[in-house]
Amino acid sequence: MLGLKATMSVIDNTGALVAECVNVLRNPSSRGLARVGDEIVVVIQKAKPIAHTTGNVSAAALAARVRRGDVRRAVVVRTKKEIQRADGRVVRFDDNACVLLNNKKEPAGTRINGAVSQELRYHGWSKILSLAPKVV
C-alpha cells in the first residue's frame, strides 16, 4: 500500500528513475492508499538526462522521455506491503515500483525492467504483463 508522498522506482525505459506519488486515482475502497494495479499520479523526482542526438530519433521516442518535475500517471506494479492471494500464498517485493502511462492509458515505455505482480491481470493491465520479463 502506497500513500501520498511515497517514493518508488520507475521500471520502464522512459528515462525516469524515481517517482513520488501525489494522488491515487483508481481505488475508491482503500481511502487514498494505492495497491498493485491502481492508477496513481506521480511527480518525477529523478530522471536520466536527455541526450541531444541528431541521429534517427522518432518523435514518439522523444515524447516518451521525461524530465525531473514532470507530472505523469502511472500504475503500481510492485509493493513492499504483502499481497494475500486466494490460494493462501503471500507475495511481497523488495521495493515499490511503477510503470508510467501515456494519455491513452498505455505504457509510455517500450520495455519493462524487472518482475511485476500477477495481480495486474485482474485490474486489466495485460499490456504491462506482456512487456514484463517476469510475472510473479
pLDDT grade for 31, boundaries at 50, 70 and 90: confident
Q: Are strands 134-135 and 115-116 parallel, antiparallel or unpaired?
A: parallel
Does 60 score more than 90 pLDDT?
no
Tell me the H-state helices in 31-125. Answer: 59-64
- CA 79 to chain centroid, in Å, comes to 11
Q: Where are the domains of the chain?
A: 7-135
Q: Rounded distance, CA 65 to CA 47, Å?
A: 9
Q: Are 1 and 33 in contact (CB under 8 A)?
A: yes
- The model carries a pTM of 0.88
CATH of domain 7-135: 2.40.150.20
Residue with cell 541521429: 55
pLDDT, tens only, 42-55: 999 999 987 766 56
Sign of the torsion angle spanned by Cα atoms 99, 45, 15, 81: negative
